[in-house]
Amino acid sequence: MFRTILGATAASIMLAGAATAEDFEVHMMNRSDRGAMVFEPPSLRVAIGDTVKFVATDKGHNAESIKGMIPEGADTFKGAINEEVTVTFTEEGFYGIKCNPHFGMGMVMVVAVGDSAVPQDGFLEGRMPKKAKQGIDDALSSL
Ligand SMILES: [Cu+2]
């Protein structure tokens, strides 16, 4: 009897473990109902260890981390133009992400990893194009 209960508990723990790491998709698009040159969705909240696949839905885009806008200890990443890139988010905090060709047009997004309600210190202090700053602000308010 005890053995059966223990077995069931172990199985459910394993199932819970398997469900913990989630995979998300973000589409890089020429247009959405939010306007031209967008990541869709504009923001995501994920758990540590989750992955996000940046899908080249339209041509001419990439996804890369913005200098100075990732948590301490996190790895930078840079996807190639027109190519899908999958990123595993290993550090808690906020990641600013841009499409390099369309940074000036505000093609940015934010991935928040873990439970923090506000970005880490310095997140908004770097210089960036006005539309990119607006895009980051919009992304933060949509989290
Ligand atoms: Cu782009």
Beta strands in 1-141 (DSSP E): 23-32, 35-40, 43-46, 51-55, 64-65, 85-88, 93-98, 108-113
3-state class of 78 per DSSP?
strand
Q: What is the whole-number distance in angstroms between the Cα of residue 41 and the centre of ligand 1?
A: 14
- Report the separation in Å between the CA atom of 99 and the middle of ligand 1, taken as the mean of its atom positions: 5
The stretch 100-129 carries a mean pLDDT of 97
User: For residue range 58-77, what is the model confidence (pLDDT) as tens digits?
Assistant: 999 999 999 999 999 999 99
Is 5 a residue whose pLDDT tops 90?
Answer: no
What's this model's pTM, rounded to 2 decimal places?
0.86
Q: What is the pLDDT of residues 10-35, one digit of tens each?
A: 555 455 555 579 999 999 999 999 99
CATH number of 21-141: 2.60.40.420
Ligand 1 center to 15 CA (angstroms)? 38
